[in-house]
Amino acid sequence: DGGITQSPKYLFRKEGQNVTLSCEQNLNHDAMYWYRQDPGQGLRLIYYSQIVNDFQKGDIAEGYSVSREKKESFPLTVTSAQKNPTAFYLCASSIVTGTGWPQHFGDGTRLSIL
Amino acid sequence: GENVEQHPSTLSVQEGDSAVIKCTYSDSASNYFPWYKQELGKRPQLIIDIRSNVGEKKDQRIAVTLNKTAKHFSLHITETQPEDSAVYFCAASGGLGGSQGNLIFGKGTKLSVKP
């Protein structure tokens, strides 16, 4: 799914620092998602957005923030309030939200604490 | 809300054998069930999906079956090859309500195919 680009591939965070993960898509999809992946835990939903200027909390939103100012872009900020940020972060998009629409993923960003 | 259980967590088969991964879901309103394959360090890729109005779907060596009454669905891979080795995730749409139809994922099955 070359239409979803995540950057950077690797990111390191210092104590007390906020970091922002980029996600851009050129698939003209309305819906975008952020997942966190930990070993043996599967994918857990952090935030999702159905349309520009709208976003909703997922199952594990605490310590994270997002914005959706453009249809193509859905950046995720990992704030200092997130005490255990080390994980693999995946961005996805689908034509719309709601059941029945496949989600397509980016290559992910691996975040570690320095 | 929806809960998806996936078994087994690890599966080792000999090349050429079949592999079966099973998932159960809790929300009877769920009606979309995709399967993703994730190779080490890479993105999950959709390999097959099924909707609740269909009991079985095939795509070459891969098939998915759905039992709505029992609320479980399974991935079947026949004639396995070493390149099938990966982590496989099932998912179910959350149905209506708080999850608004978002996907709920199982915890994954690590499949190893031995040459």
Q: With a cut of 70, say whether residue B95 has pLDDT above it.
A: no
Task: Tell me which chain B residue has its CA closest to the CA of residue A103.
Answer: B46
Evaluate whether A23 touches A4 at the Cβ level (below 8 Å): yes
- Backbone φ and ψ for B37, nearest 5 degrees, come out as -115, 130
Distance CA A11, CA A43 (A): 19
Distance in Å, alpha carbon of B114 to nearest chain A alpha carbon: 22
Nearest CA to A73 among A44, A111, A43, A106? A106
Q: For residue A97, give the 3-state DSSP assignment.
A: coil
Nearest CA to B58 among B35, B85, B25? B35
Which of A43, A100, A104 minimises the CB distance to B31?
A100
pLDDT band at B52 (very low <50, low <70, confident <90, very high): confident
Which of A42, A56, A102 minimises the CB distance to B49?
A102
Q: With a cut of 70, say whether residue A1 has pLDDT above it.
A: no
Q: Which residues contact B3 (CB under 8 A, 6 or more apart)?
A: B25, B26, B27, B104
Q: For residue A106, with 0-12 CB atoms within 10 Å meaning exposed, 13-18 middle and 19 or more buried, which class applies?
A: buried
Distance CA B93, CA A103 (A): 11
Q: Per-residue pLDDT tens for B100-113?
A: 668 899 999 999 99
Name the average pLDDT for chain A. 92
- How many CB atoms within 10 Å of residue B84? 18
Tokens 């990966």 sit on residue: B86
Q: Which residues of A touch B51 (CB under 8 A)?
A: 100
Q: Per-residue pLDDT tens for A12-28?
A: 988 889 999 999 999 99
Distance in Å, alpha carbon of B7 to nearest chain A alpha carbon: 12
